C-alpha cells in the first residue's frame, strides 16, 4: 500500500518554490494526489519502501503522514 504524505510550504514560499517541491517529489518516485489552495502545499503518495527527502527542501515547513482524523 502506498504511503501518503501532506507537504506544507512556508507562507513566504513562491509559486516557483511550490513547483520545485512538487517536481522533487515526482523525481523521488512520488505521485501528487492533491494540490491545496488554502495553504501552500500538496499531498503525495510514495510506493512502499521509498525513501524521500522532502523535509530537506528549505521552503518546506512540514511533511506529515496523511491519516484519518475523527472527532468524538
- Asked whether the predicted pLDDT for residue 66 surpasses 90, the reply is no
**What is the CA angle 42-66-24, rounded to 5?**
40
The helices-and-strands tally (H runs, E runs) of the chain is 1, 4
pTM here?
Answer: 0.87
> CA geometry: angle at 25 spanning 18 and 58, to 5°?
50
pLDDT at residue 67, as a whole number? 84
Is the CA virtual torsion 55, 57, 62, 67 positive or negative? negative
CATH 3.30.70.80 correct for 3-65: yes
Q: 43 — alpha (psi -120 to 50), left (phi > 0) or beta?
A: beta
Amino acid at each position: 500500500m502506498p504511503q501518503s504524505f501532506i507537504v506544507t510550504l512556508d507562507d513566504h514560499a513562491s509559486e516557483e518554490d511550490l513547483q520545485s517541491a512538487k517536481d522533487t517529489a515526482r523525481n523521488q518516485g512520488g505521485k501528487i494526489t492533491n494540490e491545496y489552495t488554502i495553504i501552500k502545499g500538496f499531498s503525495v503518495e510514495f510506493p512502499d519502501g521509498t525513501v524521500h527527502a522532502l523535509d530537506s527542501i528549505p521552503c518546506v515547513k512540514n511533511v506529515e503522514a496523511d491519516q484519518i482524523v475523527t472527532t468524538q
